[in-house]
Structures are given as structure tokens and as C-alpha cells.
Amino acid sequence: MAHYNKGANAERELIHSLHAQGFAVLRVAGSGVSPLPSPDVVALKHGKILAFECKAWKGKYLAIPVETFNDEVNWAETAGADFFVAWKVPHKGWLFVSAKHFHNAGKNFMISLDDARKHSANLLVIEGLQSTIQQ
């Protein structure tokens, strides 16, 4: 339950951040309820579509089951959305990583924390509020 709440809190934090930047934001109904695989959070602004798989995870590697990962990537492609895995590293902050930076490790798509740090996009850049990444 603690783990669930941590994830839910991270999701809420991401939603409020996107909302504060003027996006229309959706939290998607749980996969147990909806039959259609899709990302956790979707943010929209004047036709720009961002889709996020949201993970709160303290560890050296992040793993996402292959089927989930592929479903979400396909969903985003159909929608015309930019897809990111939003990795909240507890007490550190957020990393936003495109699907292309994950590697298929059989059962899961994976990325190391080091690689995620290297490839993470700035949320302000993702949101189109900033054209280059601040150093």
C-alpha cells in the first residue's frame, strides 16, 4: 500500500505540474477497469499531446514489462502523442525518458539510472515552453 501511495503521489505531482503549465490533463482510469492499454497520464494543449507512464522508483534500474511498454508506445503512436516514461527518483527529482532509450531485456524494457539521467529531457522542453535544455 505504501508503494501504491508513493506512485499515486508521484502521479498527482506530475499532473499538478502539467496543469500549472496550462495543460489540460487526464489521469487515466486504472488498467483493471479499462480494457484498453494506455499511458497513466495524458496532457494536452492546443493539439500538442504528451503521454506519460509514471513510475516512482528508487533503484539503479527501471524495468517495465514488455507488453505494457509496447502497448503504451503503440497507443501514443496512434494518438499522435509524444511518449515519455516519467521516473520519479525519491528525494532526487524527475527524469523524462523517451522509449527509444530503453532496451529490450526479454521480459522487460529496461534503463539504468545513469542512462536515464544522461537521456532525460527537461519537462519545460517537453512542454514546448523552452527550446533548449538549461544547463
Residues annotated as catalytic (active site), given as ranges: 31
Instruction: Work out which of 5, 19, 90, 104 binds a second copy, going by CB under 8 A.
Output: 19
The single residue listed with the C-alpha cell 501504491 is 4
Q: Which is nearer to a second copy, 18 or 64 (CB)?
A: 18
Supply the minimum distance, in Å, between the C-beta of residue 47 and a second copy.
4
Question: Of 27, 83, 72, which Cα lies nearest the Cα of 50?
Answer: 83
Q: Which is nearer to a second copy, 24 or 129 (CB)?
A: 24
Q: Which is nearer to a second copy, 62 or 85 (CB)?
A: 85
Residue type, 75: W
Binding mask 46-85 for a second copy (x = CB under 8 A): xxxx-------------------------xx-xxxx----
3 vs 8: CA distance, rounded Å: 9
70 vs 74: CA distance, rounded Å: 6
Q: Which is nearer to a second copy, 22 or 59 (CB)?
A: 22
Binding status of residue 10 toward a second copy by CB under 8 A:
no
Identify whether the C-beta of residue 77 lies closer than 8 Å to the C-beta of residue 110: no
Identify whether the C-beta of residue 74 lies closer than 8 Å to the C-beta of residue 104: no
Residue type, 53: E
Interface residues toward a second copy, by CB under 8 A = 12, 15-16, 19, 22-30, 33-36, 38, 42, 44-49, 75-76, 78-81
